[in-house]
Amino acid sequence: MAAAGSLSRLLPNVGDPDMVVRRLYTGAVRSMALYEAPVWCHALARDNVAVLRHPQRAIAVRAVRGYRTVSLEAGVLAETPPWDL
């Protein structure tokens, strides 16, 4: 999802995370990713889960002001539940 990449470039990975900015960006990307989720959730397979996790991880890493080597647990630090639930 291109929106996650574009928005993650706006968040620097230095300094303390700002709660308002973190919630704004993660909320915007989550809304775009989960648009019409009731329609496509039945077709969600193992391959498609990676399509959801990639933008979530990108925005979560920037929300916690980490680097790309941070594991998937950045979502826990960013207080965002997995989108594929």
Count up the domains in the chain and report the number: 1
Spacing of C-alpha 72 from chain mean position: 10
For residues 1 and 30, the model is more confident at: 30
Task: Let me know if residue 84 belongs to a domain.
Answer: no
Model confidence, pTM? 0.52
CB 68 within 8 A of CB 9: no
Question: How many beta carbons lie within 10 A of that of residue 6, not counting itself?
Answer: 11
Determine the structural domain holding residue 19 and report its residue range: 2-77
Residue 82 falls inside a structural domain: no
Assigned domain for 62 exists: yes
Q: What is the mean pLDDT of residues 69-85?
A: 63
Residue 63 lies in a domain: yes
Residue 83 lies in a domain: no
Q: For helices 19-33 and 2-10, give the axis angle rounded to 10 degrees.
A: 170
Q: What is the pLDDT of residues 12-39, one digit of tens each?
A: 655 565 677 777 777 777 777 777 677 7
Q: Is residue 85 part of a domain?
A: no
Residue 72 maps to a domain: yes
pLDDT at 60: 73
- Per-residue pLDDT at 3: 64
The mean pLDDT of 71-80, rounded to a whole number, is: 63
State how far the Cα of 5 lies from the Cα of 71, in Å rounded to an integer: 17
